[in-house]
Amino acid sequence: MRTPFLQYLYLQKPVTMAIIICAISVLPWIGLWDFSANESREAGIAASILETGNCVLPTDAEGELAYTPPMLHWLIAAFSLPQGHVSEFTARLPSALALIVLIGFTLFFFGERIKFQEAFICTFLLLTCIEVHKAGMIAGTDMLFTAFIVIALYMLYRWENKLELKGLPISIPILIGCAVLTKGLTGILLPLLVFGVYLVILKKHRTLTIIKALIYAGVASSFLPLIWYAAVWRQAGDQFFNVLFVESSEHVHGIWYYFGALLGGFMPWTLFFFFSLFGLKLRWPQKFNIRSLDKIKMFSLVALVCIFFFYFIPSGKKSAFLLPAYPFIAVFLAQYTIYITEYRMLVTRIFVGFLSLITLVILTTFVLTITHVIDPVSITAQFTSNPLILNNATLVKSAVQSPDLITTGIVLIVLAALVTVIYQMFKKINLKMLYATIFLAFAVNLMVDGIFIRNIKSVETSNYSFTTSTSISTNPFLGNVFTATAERAGKLPSN
């Protein structure tokens, strides 16, 4: 049951509650494991900014110019400036803060325009799905770009809905400009495409008015990026054109890739929607008219379809490219989830029981490992001889058998979530059971981040600081990591 404090937050301060929960889900964990190869490159460029003061075209650790939009590197450098070096925490902080801001804006935006219950569930489906959570935990441009694009789309909708396309709000060109400085020209093409298609389908404004609105928004949004592009042109000359497009040729996939990416990205809720299919009555689809939807649902549908097809056409595909569509997909999934929960109770209980069973098995495995009844490493060795997998199993075993305060606290949170779900399964209020299931999904995310990933990816001797000149140290077990030549907080692992 909710405590009075949680009930107060839910009823009176829901956005504050969402922000606090989101912060708990990401901020304590983003500094607990080492850089991946891709993260190392981003951190190395930010370290170069701190070292040289060159914010226009900094170099990476190999001394090559970083021909990529600089917003992420600027933010990493800004967050790292007080401590004088780039750490894992400060490198991932822009993505984590972008996720927190996105969650807050999403609940605030949809909470005013659809049923609050739908908006609340939409927000937490978004927060607990794998793809969104993962993007908020790494040093990369995906979540930062998503926050700028999605919030810009919210502001564009508000511009049409409240201001009738009069007096362009300054927040729109700032957000779109920041999106361009994060991932290039996609940042201006994508939101204007979505907004233009929405205005055409809306049939509320004249064609000339639509064209003028798009031109105004596009031109105004170009000023901020043009300042940087001009500085790049002045510094790099003809090589300037390298920064116009972000290469994605290394992510070539077939036409069906994004369908699988969405199914995997919305886990564990994909399982719920799969189970729900068995509770639906099949019938011929009725004729659908998009204009029969209310404006916010129409806008959401247009946004998710346009974003999907915008990234569907190029051969370069990556699951994170679809992140800007996730909030708009979550709106419809929340509505569907509430319907299934209220009118297909058995389906909901089967899914909740399945998720609870998996969690119970994991907790039981923890207890048996602590009491030395089972050996996870020996069990894993029966199915694979891969040394990396066996090493990961050993690390998790050590963490479980000698739990620190973080591990113990997370296990207690997961146990509390599991007990809450089981308790609500025997009650008649199905929506409370749904909320309890969201709490369980949140707790499982904590367990994955705070126990599994923290112990698998962390190495005791890998607390490196970025200070002055950098070089690359290649370790066969750790991959490529940047190490400071002037200062190191830990010892280098031997090659």
pLDDT of residue 484: 37
Q: How many CB atoms lie within 10 A of CB 26?
A: 23
The pLDDT of residue 409 is: 87
pLDDT value of residue 148:
97
**Tens digit of pLDDT per residue, the chain (495 long)?**
445 655 656 667 888 889 999 999 999 888 887 888 888 888 889 998 988 888 888 877 677 777 788 899 999 999 999 988 899 999 999 999 999 999 999 999 999 898 888 999 999 999 999 999 999 999 989 999 999 999 999 999 999 998 889 889 999 999 999 999 999 889 999 999 999 999 999 988 899 999 999 999 999 999 999 998 888 888 877 666 655 554 444 566 667 888 888 899 998 899 888 888 876 666 656 666 676 788 999 999 999 999 999 988 877 778 889 999 999 999 999 999 998 888 887 888 888 888 899 999 888 888 888 777 877 778 778 777 777 777 777 777 777 777 778 888 888 999 999 999 998 888 877 788 888 999 999 998 888 888 777 766 654 334 344 443 333 333 322 233 344 333 333 333 333
Residue 481 DSSP symbol = E
Confidence (pLDDT) at 340: 86
Collapsing DSSP to helix, strand or coil, 109 comes out as: helix
Between the alpha carbon of residue 159 and those of residues 70, 78, 155, 455, 463, the distances in Å are 28, 31, 6, 47, 47
pLDDT of residue 470: 39
| DSSP result, 340-409 | HHHH-HHHHHHHHHHHHHHHHHHHHHHHHHHTTS--HHHHHHTT---HHHHHHHHHHHHHHHS--HHHHH
Q: What is the dihedral of CA 441, 446, 452, 457, to 10 degrees?
A: 130
Would you state the structure tokens that stand for residue 95, as one six-digit string?
């993505």
Secondary structure letter of residue 452 according to DSSP: I
Q: Which residues contact 260 (CB under 8 A, 6 or more apart)?
A: none
Query: Given CA atoms 155, 157, 159, 163 in this order, what sign does their dihedral have?
Result: negative
Instruction: Output the six-digit token pair for 138.
Output: 């790494």
Between CA 410 and CA 254 the distance in angstroms is 39
DSSP one-letter code for 223: H
* Run of H or E residues at 194: helix 186-202
Q: What is the DSSP string of 34-97?
A: ---HHHHHHHHHHHHHHHH---SS-B-TTS-B--S--HHHHHHHHHHTTTTSB-HHHHHHHHHH
Helix, strand or coil, per DSSP, at residue 296: helix
pLDDT of residue 286: 66
pTM as predicted? 0.85
Q: Are 331 and 110 in contact (CB under 8 A)?
A: yes
* Residue 372 phi, psi dihedral angles, 5° rounding: 60, 25
